[in-house]
Amino acid sequence: MIFIEILKISLAYLIPTLVGLVFISVLEKGKAGLKGVEKLALSFALGSGFVSSYMFYLGVLGIRFNFWTASAIVWPFLICGIFILGKRGPKSLICFSRPLIFSGKTKWKMLLTVLLFALLLWKTSFISFEILACPTYFDDSVANHNYKAKVFYHNQSLVLDKDHPDFLGGYMPWKAPGTSLFKTWVAIWVGTWKEYAVNLNSLFVFLALGLISYYSLARILPPLASLAFTYMILSIPLLTFHAAFAYVDIVAGWYFFSGIVYLIRWIREKDRTAFFLSALLFGVGLSTKNEMIALFVGGALPVLILYQLITRAKFREMLQTTACYLGLVIIFNVPWFVIKGVYNLALGIPEEYRQLEFHPEGFNILASYLFDSGNYNILWPVFFCTLIFSSLLVAKTELKYLLISLAGALAVTLSLFIFTSFFEYLRSGMTINRALLTILPVIVFYIAAFYGKLTEEKELHINEEQ
């Protein structure tokens, strides 16, 4: 029985990964630009997002969720995967290479590598223990994301009757249902509602975040430095804690980070696959949290437009590129936006928080969280110093795009707490750290990119094995 349950859970997570894998392979058109493990992590990101969107479409169309309707999305991808396998061989689907992280190192570097791996292994074990052994614990999971998933699973649909207590998940129906729908998908595959099975999502998100960050950093840094910065991302105390207790902020942070990282890769390497990946990651990411819309508008869109302005792209070309990117981002979410429009659900923050008011006292409270709490390790002072020191370099390098992205994301996040009555959540400390959590991996990436510049990174290491 246990074996069958493990098999079902494995399939629940592997099948979306397979869907993503086939999709990315089609996108790559035979060019193997992505490393095997990186591609796997990306496949999970895209695949789980596709599956969530697909479940939403089923719900909107009034088709009941069951094993057969849910698994219908798999078949086209499976056939396509078999076709790719037959035509281009298995390597075009996925190709693993031996990582060089342990090879050719001095004794102290080897020791450092082992220490970092040991700490990462502990964090993975800690997260696994909390997920496998504990019932869902904290409020937002219990009252919102997991509750909605359970409601969707029980009703086998979205419930679009506004007067029904289970309407759109039954709790705050204006909140994005992406993560909940993926949990519903997992429950459908498992055949019953299992706390640990649906919460395992955040363990895989944690691991995928690490893999995407390592392989992205490895393009601008040597293996040990890439590992060190990846370790820094994964060991941000609040991030590890959120992964252990299945909170949705880490999922939003994962999509925001991946979206920005591949956008920057497109800018650096002119790689069209990275361009599409970035747009698609934001596309599926928008359905994880309402705040993702603001983060996308503040953190990604200005980068896309500014890059084209700086490189003096032709107007028509610029229009095409921007429209293509925006189209890919929005297309997945059209039904969700339509539903919001039809049922008059808030697109962003609720109306009571939209009144402008200035709270300068918020900066002091914010400082106490950034510098005196145990949420971020030493990240914030290092980031602020990096900002000052990198000011000479920013304009001349691609760092400016990362900085614009960060400035935009921080502006939309912090302005809510400083310039609206949402300030009460800063004063009580209820959501400020969770809101900032979404941006933290990009902050580490910025520090890493600056470090890469200072250590005289002369060329990209894109063609070399990691």
Partner 1 sequence: MKANNNPIDHGLPADELSCVSLLSKLVTYVVPRGLIPIFIIFSLFGRAPLEAAPAVAWNFDLPGERSGWEAKGVEASKVREGVYRILGKEEFQLILPPGLDISPEKDTYFKIRLRTFSPRYLRIYWQPAGSRARLPFVTIQPYMDQNFHTYWVDLSKSPAWHGKINRVGLIFGGIPGMVEIDSLEIGPFSVKEYLASQWREFWLPRTLNIATINSLNSPRLFGKPFISWLNKVAVIVLVLGAFFYFKTKGTRRIKITLMTGLALLIIWLLYDIRETYSQFKMVDEIYRSYVKPPPENKTFPALGAFHRFIELCREKIPPEAQYHFYSDPYWPYDCRIKYFLYPRRINSDTLSNIIAGKKIPYYVVYHQPGIRFDTTSRQIRYHSPEGDFEISKPGRIIVSFGENSFIFLEEQ
Q: Does 224 bind partner 1 (CB under 8 A)?
A: yes
Which segment (206-214, 257-265, 373-381, 406-414) binds partner 1 by CB under 8 A?
Answer: 373-381
- Whether 459 and 269 have beta carbons less than 8 Å apart is answered as no
Does 466 bind partner 1 (CB under 8 A)? Our answer is yes
Structure letter (DSSP) for residue 72: T
Residues of span 377-396 touching partner 1 by CB under 8 A: 377-378, 380-382, 385-386, 389
User: Given candidates 51, 221, 300, 303, which one binds partner 1 under the rule CB under 8 A?
Assistant: 221
Tell me the H-state helices in 343-439: 362-372, 379-394, 399-419, 423-427, 432-437
Core vs surface per residue 400-422: b (16+ CB within 10 A) or e: bbbbbbbebbbebbbebbbebeb
Name the minimum Å distance from CB 104 to partner 1.
6
CB 379 within 8 A of CB 440: yes
Write out the E strands in 367-445: none
Q: To the nearest whole angstrom, how small is the minimum distance from the Cβ of residue 213 to partner 1? A: 15
In the complex, least distance from residue 380 CB atom to partner 1, rounded to whole angstroms = 8
Structure tokens at 464: 């070399």
Residue 465 Cβ, how far from partner 1 at the closest point, in Å?
6
| Alpha carbon distances (Å) from 155 to 53, 136, 389 | 18, 21, 55
Binding mask 151-190 for partner 1 (x = CB under 8 A): x--x----------xx---x--------------------
248 binds partner 1 (CB under 8 A): no
Does 62 engage in binding with partner 1 (CB under 8 A)?
Answer: no
Selected from 8, 359, 400, 461, the binder of partner 1 by CB under 8 A is 461
Per CB under 8 A, contacts with partner 1 among 418-457 are 429-431, 433-434, 451, 454-456
Least spacing, CB of residue 165 vs partner 1, in Å: 4
Q: Residue 420's beta-bridge partner residues?
A: 356
Region of 6-14, 178-186, 229-237, 326-334 interacting with partner 1 (CB under 8 A): 229-237
- Shortest CB 76 distance to partner 1, Å: 33
Quote the tokens at residue 151: 């409601």
Its sign, for the CA torsion 286, 292, 295, 299, is negative
Binding positions for partner 1, 118-157, rule CB under 8 A:
119, 122-123, 126, 129-130, 133-140, 142-143, 146-147, 150-151, 154
Q: Is 223 among the residues that bind partner 1 (CB under 8 A)?
A: yes
DSSP string for residues in 274-296? HHHHHHHHHHHHTTT-THHHHHH
Answer yes or no whether residue 235 interacts with partner 1 by CB under 8 A.
yes
Separation CA 346–CA 350 (nearest Å): 6
Q: Measure the CA–CA gap between 232 and 310, rounded to whole angstroms.
A: 32
